[in-house]
Amino acid sequence: MFSRRDFLQLAAAAAAVMPAGGTRALAQQGLSEAELLRFAPLGNITLLHVADIHGQLVPVHFREPSLNIGVGEARGLPPHITGKDFLQRYGIPEKSAAAYALTFEDFEALAKSYGRIGGLDRAATVIKLVRAERGEGNVLFLDGGDTWQGSLGANRSKGQDMVDCMRLLKPDAMTGHWEFTYGEARVKELIKGLGFPFLALNVRDTEWNEPVFEPYKMFDKGGVKIAVLGQAFPYQPVANPRWLIPNWSFGIREDDVRATVEKARKAGAQLVVMLSHNGFDVDRKLASRVSGIDVILTSHTHDALPEAVRVGKTLLIASGSHGKFVSRLDLDARDGEVKDFRYKLIPLFADAIRPDAEMAAAIAKARAPYAGELRREVGRTESLLYRRGSFNGTFDDLICAALIKERDAEIALSPGFRWGASVLPGAAITIEDIHNATAITYPNAYRLTMSGERLKEVLEDVADNLFNPDPYYQQGGDMVRCGGLGYSVDVRKPAGQRISGMTHLKTGKPIEPKKDYAVAGWASVNEGTQGPPIWDVVERYIAGEKVVRIAPNTSVKIAGV
């Protein structure tokens, strides 16, 4: 496969000049913009895809997961492979640039060698070059959503900074998820100023059951009529606060997907692309049940896969998160089907790819109002701080410790979000870092009492959202993170029976169903939740600690993997 060979070459180039322990300068010599972008064009159409940028205008460190559990038919299949298994599956050498971009192996050391990845100015360079090479009339650039949220600037400007910068990239369409957490009025306002369509075939108003957004849009590219269908995150009112979008109803709506594909084909579409925020496993199932979709550009579950996954005649693309990658998919689309394709997941190594000047200026302008605040140092960390993974992340361990101390609680709960950039050991923790892990529109850190019984219900409920063997019943987040609470989980048990051995870590005693515990948490989906914003809680805690050290988390025992 082209992508594999490409990655191998990229990896080899880097490996040749950087044996383990090499300097950063040496590592970078093996990574050139030309090498990262090298691609033998194919066919008549190029799709460019970004997804789950999560408010990250500038390059980040982002550690990919060490644990990404798949259940049911997805067990052991990409994207549910990590680390060395991932490297082996895709033929990527250890310690290579590709290994650093795609896995957690040697992350701390490789981060020092290869540096940050991403930045919208680097994405702009890549997108402009591909458009110039292929011709504007042959390129579709699509944004899978989760673009407007995830950073201090995005939250303060209610998505405006991201919209202003993304607009310069002139996407052909987008769909959404966290976008909706700015509330109905703000979403409508931002969409009005986009200059390109916001597509979502699976959102209807609760009163008349009528479509809220354009379900699909037809494009003429490469001499072919292309229908792009939008599929927003199906569980918005369940996973995020419903009160922010009380008049909109979501869902997978498989029948509507099928009907929209048929409608688009009838209207003359020779290529059908679904821009989806379903999450990878949901899209894999959908592709096996709905015919007529040529390409699904997946997102939501933040998977970065260097090869397309084929389900029947449908190609699934997974373009990663946090602005680390731009996907390029060249298609030879003729006679109503894809004859051939070539795919590359392009990692945006910030030291190798030139920043686009126009975008760099726009980013600087967007960040200017908070520049001093963003770089203000709150403390330092001796441990790598990261979030992504099925169960634990050190950043969440830090947040839980902050909640327990600052809110005087016995137990802390932190949501299993998949977004949140990493902070390297030895680095300062800045205000920007804290907000990269906490910037939401419902940030109140609550404190309440919960019975042991209720705590178990919460854990079981979230566990089923991850480990229900039918992807249509999953919501695509990771497990809720716990502080002060240990438990065992058997992922293969049915709903309501996965969690056992709940332990109050402070006393070492079992959690008693009828006993009340003081619980602090954040990101409650309930309206009117009281408490200080979580970023203030975390800032106070880090400032008090001065230096953060996170001990390995051994409080969750996992079975059935």
Partner 1 sequence: MTLILNRRQALAVGAGAIVVLGGTAGPAFAKNDSDDIIKKFTGNATPQQGRVKLDLPEIAENGNTVPMTISVESPMTAQSHVTDVLVVADGNPRAGVATFHFSPASGAAEANTRIRLATSQNIIAVAKMNDGSFFTASKAVKVTIGGCGG
56 binds partner 1 (CB under 8 A): no
335 binds partner 1 (CB under 8 A): no
Q: How far is the CB of 525 from partner 1 (least distance, A)?
A: 4
- State the SS3 of 184-215: HHHHHHHHHCCCCCEECCCCEECCCCCECCEC
Smallest Cα–Cα separation from 306: which of 287, 319, 321, 323?
319
Choice between 255 and 335, CB closer to partner 1: 255
For the residues of 475-514, what is the DSSP string, one character each? ----PPEEESEEEEEETTSPTT-SEEEEEETTTTEEPPTT
Choice between 20 and 495, CB closer to partner 1: 495
Choice between 178 and 349, CB closer to partner 1: 178
Interhelix angle for 160-169 vs 120-134, to 10°?
20
For 335-452, list the strands marked E by DSSP.
337-347, 377-381, 411-414, 428-430, 446-451
| Choices 28-36, 159-167, 229-237, 333-341; region in contact with partner 1 by CB under 8 A | 229-237
**Residues in 144-183 at the binding interface with partner 1, rule: CB under 8 A:** 146, 177-178
**How far is the C-alpha of 447 from the C-alpha of 544, rounded, in Å?**
20
Choice between 2 and 472, CB closer to partner 1: 472
Choice between 64 and 464, CB closer to partner 1: 464
Q: How far is the CB of 547 from partner 1 (least distance, A)?
A: 30
Tokens read off for 205: 């108003």
**How far is the C-alpha of 418 from the C-alpha of 286, rounded, in Å?**
22
**How far is the C-alpha of 347 from the C-alpha of 445, rounded, in Å?**
36
**Residues in 497-516 at the binding interface with partner 1, rule: CB under 8 A:** 497, 513
Q: How far is the CB of 54 from partner 1 (least distance, A)?
A: 10
| Choices 59-67, 316-324, 368-376, 470-478; region in contact with partner 1 by CB under 8 A | 470-478
237 binds partner 1 (CB under 8 A): yes
Choice between 28 and 278, CB closer to partner 1: 278
Tokens read off for 117: 């990845």
Q: How far is the CB of 135 from partner 1 (least distance, A)?
A: 37
Interface pick for partner 1 out of 133, 205, 382, 461 (rule CB under 8 A): 461
Choice between 136 and 527, CB closer to partner 1: 527
Cα-trace Rg, the chain: 23
* Residue corresponding to tokens 């300068």: 25
449 binds partner 1 (CB under 8 A): no
Interhelix angle for 160-169 vs 357-367, to 10°?
170
* Residue corresponding to tokens 């691609």: 39
CA geometry: angle 102, 107, 110, nearest 5 deg: 95
Interface pick for partner 1 out of 433, 464, 539, 545 (rule CB under 8 A): 464
| Choices 1-9, 187-195, 392-400, 450-458; region in contact with partner 1 by CB under 8 A | 450-458
Per CB under 8 A, residues contacting partner 1 are: 146, 177-178, 209, 233, 235, 237-240, 242, 249-252, 255, 300, 415-419, 452-453, 456-458, 460-462, 464-465, 468, 470, 472-473, 475-477, 480, 494-497, 513, 523-525
